[in-house]
A = this chain, B = another copy of it.
Amino acid sequence: MTQGRQVEIVEVGPRDGYQGIDPFIPTQTKIWLLERLVAAGLNRIEVGSFVSEKALPQMRDTHEVLAVCVRWPSLKPQVLVPNEKWGRSAVAAGAKQLVFVLSVSESHNRNNVRRTPAESVEEYGRLLQAIPSDTKIRLDLATSFDCPFEGRVPQEKALSLLDRLVELKSDAEICLCDTTGRADPAHVESLFTAAKKRFPNVQAWALHAHDTYGLGLANVNVAYRAGVRVFDASFAGLGGCPFAPGATGNVATEDLVWMFERMGVSTGIDIEALLPVAQEGAKIPGGLSGGRVRDALTSRPDACAAARQT
């Protein structure tokens, strides 16, 4: 984490926010938005996915977007990969941090990557073998709390899958993802507390929260209390999983920044610079925006200063 920041917000809008959007967002627009996100202080951004163009046509220019990231020395870009093959492509394109995704629930994993979770664990092992040892790894555990097809996911199911994943690489950052937005604060606290106890060697835990049912910030807050310091968020609240019906809306970056700064927890992000980028994000044709802070601050632009009233 960069010095002075007490929490790290990972901007996932350019991946999770854009991926479900049709029509294609021009590459130059993506780069322009990226530049402004970096200027607002976002120094860790998920800039895209290396995936089949057929599955996610919006992500077909990720190699171009990744290539321009060298312009910004403060930026640590990360890209999502679903398997070893695409992981190799990402590394060949210059990626230094990969996000490998698999789901705790079998039906969601089959839907997403056409594998059982056990097969994805094997694929993860192959990926780790195939890439340079200094490549940073983040593991995204989709449906850690709830699955669009199976409902509430038992805690032990997530922990058992982690037994095998942590064994393969104990220094990966592990992100528990609330794919459907139906995790509740008690569940979030319970799972993170159990996971941190069971895997004391894992250094970095993260939460990927969705705001579909309005619980995004409540879940982030309890995860923070449980010791989590890395949080995914999407500017303008863009997002949703195309394979999870109703899973609209990542928690909005500006909402997270607002909450933490009001609590006196430094994010390193300038909300006055972020606000106009979020406003642009909300205008992307075909996008589905969310969050509350953007509208609240837009109606009272002087109110940005209140984020620093701690």
Using a CB–CB cutoff of 8 Å, the interface residues on chain A facing chain B are: 146, 151-152, 181-182, 184-187, 211-218, 220-222, 245-246, 248-249, 252, 255, 258-259, 262-264, 291-293, 296, 299-300, 303, 306, 309-310
Check if A263 sits within 8 Å of B213, measured CB to CB: no
Closest to A217 in B: B218
Check if B292 sits within 8 Å of A212, measured CB to CB: yes
Check if B296 sits within 8 Å of A213, measured CB to CB: yes
Alpha-carbon distance A29/B186, docked complex (angstroms): 38
Task: Please list 5 pairs of residues, one from A and one from B, whose beta carbons are closer than 8 Å in the complex, sorted by A's number.
Answer: A146-B306, A151-B306, A186-B262, A214-B214, A214-B293
Alpha-carbon distance A303/B216, docked complex (angstroms): 18
- Find chain B residues with CB under 8 A from A211 CB: 214, 292
4 closest cross-chain pairs (CB), A and B: A214-B292, A184-B262, A218-B218, A186-B263
Check if B300 sits within 8 Å of A246, measured CB to CB: yes
Check if B217 sits within 8 Å of A309, measured CB to CB: no
Check if A255 sits within 8 Å of B214, measured CB to CB: yes
User: Which of A218, A252, A258, A303 counts the most B-chain CB atoms under 10 A from its CB?
Assistant: A218
Query: How far in angstroms is the closest Cβ of chain B from A74?
Result: 27
Of B212, B221, B249, B303, which is within 8 A of A246 by CB?
B303
Closest to A310 in B: B152
Check if A214 sits within 8 Å of B291, measured CB to CB: yes
Of B185, B255, B263, B309, which is within 8 A of A221 by CB?
B185
Check if B221 sits within 8 Å of A262, measured CB to CB: no
Query: How far in angstroms is the closest Cβ of chain B from A182?
Result: 6
Check if A258 sits within 8 Å of B291, measured CB to CB: no
Check if B213 sits within 8 Å of A258, measured CB to CB: yes
Closest to A251 in B: B214
- Find chain B residues with CB under 8 A from A187 CB: 262-263
Alpha-carbon distance A214/B252, docked complex (angstroms): 10
- Find chain B residues with CB under 8 A from A220 CB: 218
Check if A263 sits within 8 Å of B296, measured CB to CB: no
Query: How far in angstroms is the closest Cβ of chain B from A232?
Result: 16
Alpha-carbon distance A264/B184, docked complex (angstroms): 10
